[in-house]
């Protein structure tokens, strides 16, 4: 999996998230693409689209970049807070 090429394909998404005070990290986990969205100070919680819509948007951008990814997992900031509470 070429994370650098995927990152390039997701440049518009990364820029849009940045405007709303979010950051996007890419990683590979168990052969799947892991997209982690972190909230920065001043992040607009209402600005995040539903996860299913976000997933479709990134799939489309990756495909438009001529890339193929078999599986994508998305972690939103609230998901991370839930994981921290359950640990």
Domain boundaries, the chain: 3-86
The whole model's pTM is what?
0.83
Answer whether residue 85 shows pLDDT above 90: no
The CATH label, of 1.10.10, 2.40.330, 3.30.300, 3.30.1490, for the domain at 3-86 is: 3.30.300
- Give the whole-angstrom CA distance, residue 17 versus residue 70: 23
19-75 residue pLDDT tens: 999 999 999 999 999 999 999 998 887 788 899 999 999 999 999 999 999 899 999
């Amino acid at each position: 999996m070429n994370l650098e090429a995927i990152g390039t394909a997701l440049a518009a998404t990364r820029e849009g998230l940045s405007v709303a005070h979010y950051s996007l990290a890419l990683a590979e986990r168990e052969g799947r693409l892991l997209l982690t969205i972190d909230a920065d100070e001043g992040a607009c919680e209402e600005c995040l689209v539903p996860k299913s819509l976000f997933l479709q948007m990134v799939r489309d951008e990756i495909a438009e970049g001529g890339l193929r990814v078999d599986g994508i997992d998305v972690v939103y900031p609230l998901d991370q807070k839930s994981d921290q509470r359950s640990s």
